[in-house]
Amino acid sequence: MSNSKDTFNIDYVAKLARLELSEEEKQTFEEQLGSILQHFEKLAAIDTSNVDALAHPFPSYNVWDEDVPHETFTVQEALMNAPETKDNFVQVPKVVES
């Protein structure tokens, strides 16, 4: 990154993001990212020393239904629409290479 507080190295940012940018795109994104960083500077200047830290901005309550036993699917019903099954499981293509 650049040493100047007001500018940054767009080539470095593009490299981190693995992007190949044209000179026009570099100019556009440099202006846009600079504007975003200016907004962050404004937010950083706000005094939040008297504000309690929050895990969530709104109160959160247990939203789960009661855990009440009920009828479940049989194995045959659960596998009825599976494209392939094997030994009472859904069979899927291997996705991990050796």
pLDDT in tens, 55-93: 888 887 777 888 899 999 999 999 999 999 999 999 998
Q: Domain span at residue 37? A: 10-44
Sole residue written with tokens 């099954």:
85
Would 73 be classed as within a structural domain? no
Would 32 be classed as within a structural domain? yes
The pTM score is: 0.43
pLDDT in tens, 14-61: 999 999 999 999 999 989 988 999 999 999 999 999 988 888 888 877
What is the C-alpha radius of gyration for the chain, rounded to an integer number of angstroms? 26
In the chain, how many domains are there? 1
Would 36 be classed as within a structural domain? yes
Would 68 be classed as within a structural domain? no
Would 21 be classed as within a structural domain? yes
Distance from C-alpha of 97 to C-alpha of 84, rounded to nearest angstrom = 21
Would 16 be classed as within a structural domain? yes
Would 78 be classed as within a structural domain? no
